[in-house]
């Protein structure tokens, strides 16, 4: 899940809210040192562990930087921006399915495009192998995960580690959504063909074909997500 911190959020969100208010009241200037862990723990009547978790989360998003034995510094950006960032972090949980799928689509298409430019012979080989593995497991419970691996190989060939990591982060969320709804529980033969088209496009270095093929391949999922959103509003 993207929201790692869901179960501890009761405490964490309390800390984030407090930091937010500190900035709001002008008691915490951007670029300055934020309260010591012990101090804040006592102030909020909460364990220091929770403060540390909250600070770690803020550090993940680049808002604070913790220096051992000297304290945690808040980013030197204007307080309006800071507040926006923090309130965003507080709301990070339960991404809607359509946003996840939309983002995956755009990242996968870019990965395919870059793969056309940068894939070497070894990548192509790995791609073919992953596809064969997928076909071999088409009627087994491993099909879904073999499909995941196929897409990961493409991301690998794109030579863009950021895209690779981001797909790594959102894919489990997507899976958890459509496993529940047992979408794609029945394997479609068209998937095999679509994979093959993507491989051919990458091998022939045709980025436009690769992107189009990837879009087509994910279109069923995309449509599913859109419909799900619509029926939610009815």
Partner DNA sequence: GATTATTAATTGGTCAACCAAAATTATTTT
Partner DNA sequence: AAAATAATTTTGGTTGACCAATTAATAATC
Residues that bind a second copy (CB under 8 A): 1-2, 4, 7, 56, 59-63, 68, 75, 77-78, 80-81, 84-85, 88-89, 91-92, 95-96, 98-100, 102-103, 106-107, 110, 114, 142, 145-146, 148-149, 152, 159-166, 168-173, 176
- 8 Å CB contact between 98 and 225: yes
Query: Do residues 30 and 73 make contact, with C-beta atoms less than 8 angstroms apart?
Result: no
* Residue 71 engages DNA in binding (rule: CB under 7 A): yes
216 part of the interface to DNA, by CB under 7 A: no
> Quick one: which segment of 37-45, 95-103, 123-131, 177-185 binds DNA (CB under 7 A)?
37-45
Q: Pick from 213, 208, 100: which is nearest to 150 by CA?
A: 213
Question: Which of a second copy, DNA, none is residue 96 near (CB under 5 to 8 Å by kind)?
Answer: a second copy
How far CA 49 is from CA of 11, 137, 140, 146, in Å, comes to: 10, 45, 44, 39
Residue 152: which of DNA, a second copy, none does it interact with, CB under 5 to 8 A by kind?
A: a second copy
CA pair distance 135, 44, nearest whole angstrom = 56
Q: Which residues contact 183 (CB under 8 A, 6 or more apart)?
A: 221, 224
Please identify which residue in 44, 66, 98, 206 interacts with DNA, judged by CB under 7 A.
Answer: 66
């Amino acid at each position: 899940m993207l929201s790692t911190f869901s179960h501890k959020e009761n405490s964490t969100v309390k800390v984030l809210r407090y930091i937010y208010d500190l900035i709001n009241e002008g008691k915490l200037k951007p670029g300055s040192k934020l309260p010591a862990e012990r101090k804040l723990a006592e102030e909020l009547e909460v364990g220091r562990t929770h403060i540390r978790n909250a600070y770690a989360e803020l550090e993940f998003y680049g808002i604070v930087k913790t220096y051992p034995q000297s304290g945690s510094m808040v980013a030197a950006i204007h307080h309006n921006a800071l507040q926006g960032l923090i309130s965003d972090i507080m709301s990070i949980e339960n991404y809607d399915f359509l946003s996840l799928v939309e983002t995956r689509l755009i990242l996968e298409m870019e990965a395919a495009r870059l793969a056309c430019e940068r894939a070497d012979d070894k990548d192509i080989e790995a791609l073919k192998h992953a596809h064969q593995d997928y076909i071999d497991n088409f009627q087994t419970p491993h099909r879904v995960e073999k499909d995941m691996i196929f897409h990961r190989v493409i991301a690998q060939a794109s030579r863009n580690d950021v895209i690779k990591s981001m797909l790594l982060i959102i894919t489990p969320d997507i899976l958890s959504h459509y496993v529940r709804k047992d979408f794609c529980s029945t394997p479609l033969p068209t998937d095999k063909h679509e994979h093959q088209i993507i491989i051919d496009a990458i091998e022939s270095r045709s980025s436009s074909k690769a992107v189009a093929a990837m879009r087509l391949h994910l279109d069923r999922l995309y449509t599913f997500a859109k419909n799900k959103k619509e029926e939610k509003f009815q």
